[in-house]
Amino acid sequence: MKSLSEIETAVKRASRAVGFSWGVSEEVGKSIRLLELFGLAGIQNLNQYYKEREIKKFENLNSISKTNFAKKAFCPITLGVSFLDQIKIIENFETIHFKNIAYPVIFLSFLSRASEIGGKKIYVKFDQYEILLNLNVNIFSNGFNKDFSKHSNNIEVKFLDNHDNFTDTEWNSLYKLAEKTFVEESDSLKQSGAGAGLTDND
């Protein structure tokens, strides 16, 4: 079994070999490593995309807006890098639509990393898949053990506000239990605490 480090290094070098800069190639390496870590077919999709890229042209998108359309399919790599670069601006859009993306699972890996940078969960919907990206810690999807499509006509990306998964009542109940471990401050603790010496050097 290949290590994640081997995967990242090989992907980075392969990406440079097909024409991406070293900087972009590093981003691709990190992203495909992430897909493999989460059990998604990163290497398989990247291989297929690079073969297709030899005979087809794909569009780049430098400035992301609320709705983005490509006559030819968007390149998932340059789109992913643009998303990472602009995350602090575009997260204010709340919902973003992309029309016509090649190999969306590759783009998905960049979105997962963007979730961590932006500090918000990201909900993604395309084809029959619904995916929740959780701050680059994990990916929840109804698409595991399935082959993602090589092309998607419509991807919806939504930034989710951070909320607790529990009520105030549930929190207060738990906190009352936690309070039982608190130690009452005695006179001896007060004297041994920081700044509680018997001498004053001022």
> Is the pLDDT confidence value at 149 over 90?
no
Mean pLDDT in the chain? 87
Give the pLDDT of residue 148: 78
Cβ–Cβ < 8 Å for 37, 65: no
What is the pTM (predicted TM-score) of this model? 0.80
pLDDT given at position 198 = 47
* 25-76 pLDDT tens trace: 999 999 999 999 988 889 999 999 999 999 999 999 989 999 999 998 999 9
Taking residues 117-139, report their average pLDDT.
86
Decide if pLDDT at 82 tops 70.
yes
Please report the pLDDT score of residue 137 as a whole number. Answer: 77
Q: Average pLDDT, stretch 8-23?
A: 96
Structure tokens at 169: 């009542």
Domain boundaries, the chain: 4-160
In this prediction, residue 127 has a pLDDT band, given cuts at 50, 70 and 90, of: confident
